[in-house]
Amino acid sequence: MSGPGTTETVRQFTVGHDDDGVRLDRWFKRHLPQVGFAMVSRWARTGQIRVDGKRADVDTRLEAGQILRVPPGGEAKGSGKPARPKRELTDEEIELADSMVLTQDRAAIVLNKPPGLATQGGSGMKQHVDGLLDAFAGDGPRPRLVHRLDKDTSGVLLIARTPGSAAFFSKRFSGRSAKKIYWALVVGVPNISDGMIELPIAKQPGTGGEKMHVDEEGGQPARTRYRVLDRAGNRAAWVELHPLTGRTHQLRVHMAAIGHPIVGDGKYGGQDAFLSGTISRKMHLHARRLIIEHPDGAPLDVTAPLPEHFANSMASLGFDEADGAELPPAPPEPTKADEKRAAKAHAKEYRKERRGERRKRSDSPSGRVRSGKPAGKPGSKGPGKPGGKPGGKPGGKPGGRPSGKPSGRPARPGARKPGGSAPRGSSPRGKR
């Protein structure tokens, strides 16, 4: 099979397993980035690209094992995306990268990320997982991140070896079919031992996106299932967490919101997040296990050992790791009816906010009315218009339509819903 660098003769490639189902133009972007999209389109239009001897369009989906015929040439100066040069790593960096490996195969590398090591680089961030991936590149493509962990969160981190496996795993994460299981130590003990937290999350204003908070009106939906595995009196609990959505800092925000911050998480729990005695001040949140489909068929199921500070705290509080080995039954997935109800509720809240904005504009000194139309001709009827009836309709709210329901007072975090049996944002799933 001709290599990508051969430009004077017709080239033939066998579509690999990682490229099964990928579009033709995407295949070129992966394997022949020096050939621009315009050239690929022209070749396809003129019949110069063949798949198993047949003409193909740029949106043709390829199948593993097919033979792809590519004409010579196509390299244009400055076209395509240049390959990222490999960085020379120090012996210490290579040793660190190798020490994190839990398992690896042709499609994936699974790491046990230590606490304190960032997943990606940022301002002033010199060492991070992404910067160590050249240690696993060899002669093939550079491995890629497909999900992330917070800097102070330890545990299972999946790395894709090839562009094809990166696309495969990314779909499983975005489609929520990957099962992520976290362990955490939290301050105090939740009243409900097996529950669901459903509180929307948004960036907290004034923090530059560095911090998140619960935002009932403008936040993105976020769902976390939790299960208490053991307790140390009323001092602390060992909990298992299942994020069913993937919001930034979701687990940390949710546990703090129900009054049980993760031990060591001063960002969201303040001073209340730290326990006295021998318990470490580091954050006790660990990505314990990942179960995800694999391109080769058999699911990938990997468990990461606890970091030293977490294991020591478990022993100090009298917790036994063996008690967390059993997987709980999978939570029921939301039905289409549930999704429709959530969408309607969101749309209703949005319309409510928009009505409030229009009312404010209508009450402004400029004389603009709620609809944005001019006030009308003298003598016409209508509230606020010359010759109209004063006061509007009887029983209506001043300056607006009747709401139909009293607004009520907003509930405090952790408060019980009227007629319900669980704290706000948390629903029972078994014993208390």
Q: Which residues pair with 194 in a beta bridge?
A: 227
Mapping DSSP onto H, E and C, the string for the chain reads: CCCCCCCCCCEEEECCHHHCCCEHHHHHHHHCCCECHHHHHHHHHCCCCEECCEECCCCCECCCCCEEEECCCCECCCCCCCCCCCCCCCHHHHHHHHHCEEEECCCEEEEEECCCCECCCCCCCCCEHHHHHHHHCCCCCCCEECCCCCCCCEEEEEEECCHHHHHHHHHHHHCCCCEEEEEEEEECCCCCCEEEEECCEEECCCCCCCCEEECCCCCECCEEEEEEEEEECCCEEEEEEEECCCCCCHHHHHHHHCCCCECCCHHHHHHHHCCCCCCCCCCCEEEEEEEECCCCCCCEEEECCCCHHHHHHHHHHCCCHHHHCCCCCCCCCCCHHHHHHHHHHHHHHHHHHHHHHHHHHHCCCCCCCCCCCCCCCCCCCCCCCCCCCCCCCCCCCCCCCCCCCCCCCCCCCCCECCCCCCECCEEECCCC
Contact between 52 and 141 (Cβ < 8 Å): no
Residue 390 to residue 273: CA distance in whole angstroms: 58
Q: Examine the residue annotation and report whether 272 is marked as an active-site residue of this protein.
A: no
From 134, 150, 152, 265, active-site residue: 150
**203 to 139, 212, 250: CA distances (angstroms):** 41, 4, 11
**275 to 77, 114, 271, 414: CA distances (angstroms):** 61, 22, 9, 22
> What single-letter amino acid sits at 204?
Q
Which residues carry out catalysis? 150
